[in-house]
Structure 1
Amino acid sequence: MNKIGPSLMCADLGHLAENIREMDKAGVDFYHLDVMDGLFVPNFTLGPDFIKTVRKLTDKPLDTHLMIRNPERYIDLFAGCGSDMISVHAEATDNLQGALVKIKNAGLKAGVAINPATPLDVLDYVYDVTDYVVVMTVNPGFAGQKFIPAVYEKIARLHEKIEQNHFDIEIEVDGNIGAGTIPACKQNGATMYVCGTSAVFKKEGTLGENVARTRQLLETEMTELSH
């Protein structure tokens, strides 16, 4: 099943409850929460108090993406905020395996996020403690960047590795995910889509309309692939 996860850093924070209510009604599958520390990436975004607020507003799974250095120091903090899933960047820690085990021991799904230029071999010894891989399709830090086409092949190679080894791992794509990029991401094996200003938060439609269009795009692509 293909899952739509709006990126809440793109939401209207002045009308957060209304935004979430509309997206819940439209049938989104999860919410993506970007946490940036100004060190690993040159930006600051959402924090634990924000995640606690979102947790009170929806029953949907919360996917917390830690774009911070040494994320293992903060796993307990973000697990305690109501996260259901936490991803950490392979580039941000010297103990990736330990960080993932810590997430799983907290009862959450554990994810590895990898930047566009990071090779897949960083995953070689952590597949057994990984529930999902976040393939960054832009360099992390800011919304509205251009998709990096070379990442399509990376998604395909990761999908092939997962299939060959029968791993129970999902592939999440994050960065400029919209009408121009979703079909090829789907074709190459992605199943989770972080949707920001290129899809759910596009100015052209309401949140509900944009979720419906994104869902239709995914379902149409699935139909085409089955023929």
Structure 2
Amino acid sequence: MLVSPSIVAASLTKFQAQVKECEDAGAYSFHLDVMDGNFVPNITVGPDFYFALRSISKIPIDTHLMVDRPDYYYEKFLSQNDRVLIHYESPINIKGLIKKMENEGVKYGLVINPNTPFSKVSDLLERAEILLIMSVYPGFSGQKFIDVSEKIKEARNYIKEMGLRTMIEVDGGINENTAKIVKNAGADIVVSASYLFSGDITDRIKTLSSI
């Protein structure tokens, strides 16, 4: 299992040390939640935080844009081999944005909320590097896990059948128990916030990685 720590859950007073600890423990990437207070009822960080993280991190950053206008902001979170993750539910022309990003060579992923059927994005995955399936409704960490196993299985079967290279990521309520559920359903990557940063980071990343 690949592990992507949700870095906004890190301690700001120990930020650089915790970034290094995540990397040393084998984190696959950092997951950066960007919220605008409109698309979701919370506000987090912006481009300055992203570039601060980029300046001290050696691993990829996946910026999860929980914003009304990802088309306005995605370019502000790109450098090196980083990716932007765009919600299907954003109130814009998603297909138009995907085409624009593909023409620009942007690495991207698609995100769907727990109540969005996989069928809504199946025809958009051809060049998406990640399909992020939310197992909570986005906005706040520490929420109870919603079992999205059937959606993961459906996505895994489709990706295999179509010969796609898209990886399946799951975010929300991930711990050592729920990670097993999504792994068994076919997930490649888990995002974890409160579980990782409320305990021994190294031990918990290694626990999730070994599932």
The CA distance in 2 between the partners of 1:168 and 1:210, in whole Å, is: 28
Partners of 2:113 and 2:137 within 8 A in 1: yes
- Structure 1 stretch 135-144 or stretch 189-198: which is displaced more? 189-198
Segments of 4+ in structure 1 off by > 4 A? none
Partners of 1:101 and 1:129 within 8 A in 2: no
Question: Where does residue 205 of structure 2 map in the other structure?
Answer: 211
* Shift in Å, 1:46: 1.7
User: Does 2:99 align with 1:101?
Assistant: yes
Structure 1 residues 84 and 180 mapped into 2: Cα distance closer, same or farther (>3 Å)?
A: same
- SS of residue paired to 2:176: coil
| 1:50-97 deviation line (CA, Å, top 9, x unaligned) | 0000001111000000000121111212225x6701011000033112
Partners of 1:100 and 1:111 within 8 A in 2: no
The CA distance in 2 between the partners of 1:111 and 1:39, in whole Å, is: 21
The percent of aligned pairs where both chains have the same amino acid is 36
How do 1:11-50 residues align onto structure 2 when only pairs under 5 Å count? 11-50=10-49
Question: Where does residue 69 of structure 1 map in the other structure?
Answer: 68
Aligned residues: 211
What amino acid maps onto 2:150 in structure 1? E
* Shift in Å, 1:179: 1.1
Partners of 1:69 and 1:93 within 8 A in 2: yes
TM score, norm. by length of structure 1: 0.88
The CA distance in 1 between the partners of 2:36 and 2:82, in whole Å, is: 21
The CA distance in 1 between the partners of 2:186 and 2:31, in whole Å, is: 20
Structure 1 residues 17 and 156 mapped into 2: Cα distance closer, same or farther (>3 Å)?
A: same
User: Does 2:112 align with 1:114?
Assistant: yes
| 1:175-211 deviation line (CA, Å, top 9, x unaligned) | 011112111101111001101112x2233xx211221
| 1:86-144 deviation line (CA, Å, top 9, x unaligned) | 01100003311222233344443211110000111221331223221110000000000
Higher relative contact order (CA 8 A, sep 6+): 2
> 1:171 is matched with which residue: 168, 173, 178?
168
